[in-house]
């Protein structure tokens, strides 16, 4: 094979997720890293490459762990950064820059322990041309495209509300999910409005937690205690630093672009996919994701979800950990989407799908700013 295989050989989250006021941001990275290294049957001395997002960033994480790496990636493009780290790690392993790469995430998103204060630079484009209009984080910006989509494609408030309803059915099967009680469309529409048309239950959680991965060459697969998860295809893309400059408010060009790259590299079509994770900071994001990846046509995803296709028993299991809407969302959720893809391929998920061969993970960064896609497989191509 001209393009040697790469696997995820270790994957783990922090011991707990949720409200963790006794662990700092760096502490969450350390715990996640230790758990992933142990999951792969390795020690820290085996790690020769590291990728992580600021803060605290790869240098701080590596140093804290006693690692002096030959390869460093600090790509920080929001919640999808970890998918890009996997892509970059695969390239680094193929190039011979490193052999055993650790990717870490830790975020004290809720408790803000050892976390930098959020501060927008008012001389940046977003600071000059969006913040003066009263934006305050993702609830006021990521949400803005939805009304345009609703008008163009007839998505109803009830269909939008069904997205968290479907995902809660998965969360109900997952003891680690933060919210597990079954909810109805009526419950969602009765929850308070955060930013019309979005109700509280259509917005993700805010939690503390972390996760880490070990990426290495596929020819070492037999050296590790867990079944290998093959990285069959990857994609990345960026679109806009400001939601107001999204190319088309009814779709994510970045999702589509990253998806095409990943599917082409893996040599798959949507028909080959048995399990899907789509970053769900808000209820409309899985709708945009399903259409961008080509699982349904433009304007069809709301009905597809509302008809039960993505919930337990449906044809396309989606966000089977419960997603950012019910499982956990530290701020940069992408790591948790990868973790669930890995668990499903290994066959160790809480809400296990029946023997999936292919799991696809779509990550979002910022407010439709960036995208990453991973095609994960049980077997090499």
Partner 1 sequence: MSPANPSPPARPKAAPIPTPETQPYWDGAAAGELRIQRCLDCGQAYFYPRPICPSCGSADVEWFTASGRATLYSYVINHRPAPGFEADAPYAIAVVQLAEGPRMMTSLVGVAATPEALELDMPLRVTFERRGELSLPVFTPAEAESEELQ
Question: Which residues contribute to the site for partner 1 (CB under 8 A)?
Answer: 120, 122-123, 125, 127-136, 139-141, 143-148, 151, 192-198, 242-245, 249
326 C-beta neighbours (distance < 10 Å), count? 27
Tell me the CA end-to-end span of the chain in Å, nearest whole number.
Answer: 10
CA dist 87 to 94, 117, 163, 210, 333, Å?
A: 11, 29, 29, 19, 17
- Crossing angle between the packed helical segments 253-266 and 284-292, to the nearest 10 degrees: 50
Residue 133 or 354 having the CB closest to partner 1: 133
Which one, 59 or 242, has the nearer CB to partner 1? 242
Considering the complex, what minimum distance in angstroms separates the CB of residue 139 from partner 1?
A: 6
Nearer to partner 1, 96 or 132 (CB): 132
Q: How many CA atoms lie within 13 A of 283 on its CB side?
A: 34
**Cα angle value 335/337/338 (rounded, 5°):** 65
Beta carbon of residue 135, minimum distance to partner 1 (angstroms, whole number): 6
Residue 46 or residue 158: which is nearer to partner 1 going by CB? 158
Question: Please, what is the minimum distance in Å from the beta carbon of residue 90 to partner 1?
Answer: 31
CB of 194 to partner 1, least distance (A): 6
Residue with smaller CB distance to partner 1, 198 or 224: 198
Whole-angstrom distance, CA of residue 31 vs CA of residue 74: 19
Q: Residue 331 to residues 45, 109, 260, 270, 334: CA-CA distances in angstroms?
A: 30, 6, 26, 28, 9
138 vs 341 by CB, closer to partner 1: 138
Q: What's the closest the beta carbon of residue 201 comes to partner 1, in angstroms?
A: 14
Distances (CA, A) of 318 to 161, 191, 307, 341: 16, 23, 13, 10
Task: Tell me the closest approach of the beta carbon of residue 180 to partner 1, in angstroms.
Answer: 26
């Amino acid at each position: 094979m001209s393009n040697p295989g790469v696997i995820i050989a270790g994957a783990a989250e922090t011991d707990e997720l949720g409200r963790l006021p006794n662990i700092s941001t760096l502490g969450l990275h350390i715990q996640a890293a230790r758990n992933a290294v142990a999951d792969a049957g390795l020690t820290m001395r085996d790690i020769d490459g590291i990728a992580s997002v600021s803060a605290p960033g790869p240098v701080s994480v590596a140093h804290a762990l006693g690692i002096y790496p030959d390869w460093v990636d600090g790509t920080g493009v929001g919640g999808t950064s970890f998918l890009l780290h996997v892509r970059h790690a695969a390239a680094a392993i193929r190039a011979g820059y490193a052999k055993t790469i650790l990717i870490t995430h830790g975020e004290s998103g809720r408790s803000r322990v050892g976390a930098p204060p959020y501060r927008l630079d008012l001389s940046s484009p977003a600071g000059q041309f969006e913040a003066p209009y009263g934006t305050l984080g993702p609830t006021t910006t990521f949400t803005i495209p939805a009304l345009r989509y609703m008008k163009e494609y007839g998505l109803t408030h009830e269909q939008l509300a069904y997205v968290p309803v479907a995902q809660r059915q998965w969360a109900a099967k997952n003891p680690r999910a933060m919210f597990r009680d079954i909810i109805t469309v009526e419950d969602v529409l009765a929850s308070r409005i955060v930013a019309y048309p979005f109700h509280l239950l259509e917005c993700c959680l805010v939690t503390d937690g972390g996760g880490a991965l070990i990426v290495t060459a596929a020819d070492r697969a037999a050296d590790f205690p867990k079944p290998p998860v093959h990285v069959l295809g990857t994609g990345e893309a960026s679109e806009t630093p400001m939601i107001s400059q999204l190319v088309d408010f009814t779709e994510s060009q970045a999702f589509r672009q990253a998806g095409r790259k990943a599917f082409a590299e893996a040599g798959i079509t949507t028909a080959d996919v048995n399990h899907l994770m789509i970053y769900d900071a808000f209820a409309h994001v899985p709708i945009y994701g399903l259409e961008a990846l080509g699982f349904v046509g433009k304007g069809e995803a709301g009905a597809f979800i509302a008809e039960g296709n993505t919930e337990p028993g449906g044809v396309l299991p989606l966000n089977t950990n419960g997603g950012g809407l019910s499982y956990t969302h530290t701020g940069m959720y992408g790591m948790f989407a990868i973790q669930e893809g890995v668990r499903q391929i290994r066959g160790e998920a809480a809400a296990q799908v029946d023997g999936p061969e292919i799991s696809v993970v779509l990550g979002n960064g910022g407010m439709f700013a960036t995208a990453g896609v991973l095609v994960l497989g049980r077997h090499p191509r």
